[in-house]
Structure 1
Amino acid sequence: MSEIVEIIDTLESRLQKLFNKIDQLEQTSAQLKEELQKATTVIQQQSKDMDVLKKQYESLKITNSLLGSEENKRDTKLKINSLIREIDYCIAQLSD
């Protein structure tokens, strides 16, 4: 009979350790999910910032070309021609 009691005690001890390990893993999982959410938010913000900086860079390139810089003159001419075509299209639409 004492063997059965020992087996039951050992089993209870192992089950308690198992439940403790499960609780610990659930806590770790929750922490990792929170860290992942924070990292995702940071990545999204940095992506938005990068898009804004790209647009500013393009504007600066065009401004530089308008001020006489030879580096981006072709791009600026193409952009101006594109804008002129859009304006002509709008005028034509308004004339109808």
Structure 2
Amino acid sequence: MNGLNEIIDSLEVKFSKLSQKLDNLEALNKELRMELEQSKHIIDNQSGEIETLKKQCETLRMTNSLLGSDEGKRETKLKINSLIRDIDYCIAQLSD
């Protein structure tokens, strides 16, 4: 009987350790999930900010080229021509 009690005690200790490890892992998992959500939120915010900055940069390039900067004059002419084509297309659609 003594050997059986030792086995049961050993199993109880092992079960207790496993239960504690499980609790620790669940807490860590929860913490990591929260950190992941925060990281996703930060990435979304930064992506939006990047898009805004890209648009501002493009606007500044256009403004510089319209103000007489030699850099980007060709791009500006191409953009204006593209806008004119779009407007002409819209007018044609409205005429039909």
TM bucket normalised to smaller: over 0.9
Q: What's the counterpart of residue 22 of structure 1?
A: 22
Q: Distance in 2 between matches of 1:71 and 1:78?
A: 13
State the percentage of identical aligned residues: 57
Tell me the distance in 1 between the aligned counterparts of 2:90 and 2:5. 91
Please list every run of 5 or more consecutive structure 2 residues that lacks an aligned counterpart in the other structure: none
In structure 1, C-alpha distance between the alignment counterparts of 2:13 and 2:54, rounded to whole Å: 61
CA RMSD of aligned residues (A): 1.0
Counterpart CA distance in 1 for 2:93 and 2:13 is 83
Q: Which residue of 1 aligns with 2:13?
A: 13
User: What amino acid sits opposite 1:33 in the alignment?
Assistant: R
TM-score normalised over the length of structure 1: 0.94
> Match for 1:95: what amino acid?
S
After superposition, the C-alpha distances for 1:31-69 in whole angstroms (9 at most, x for unaligned) are 001101110111111111101110110011000000000
- Structure 1 unpaired stretches of 5+: none
Shift of 1:87: 1.5
In 2, Cα distance between equivalents of 1:93 and 1:3: 93
Would you identify which runs of 4 or more consecutive aligned residues in structure 1 move more than 6 Å? none
Give the count of matched residue pairs: 96
Aligned to 1:44: 44
Write the distance in 2 (CA, Å) between the matches of 1:34 and 1:22. 18
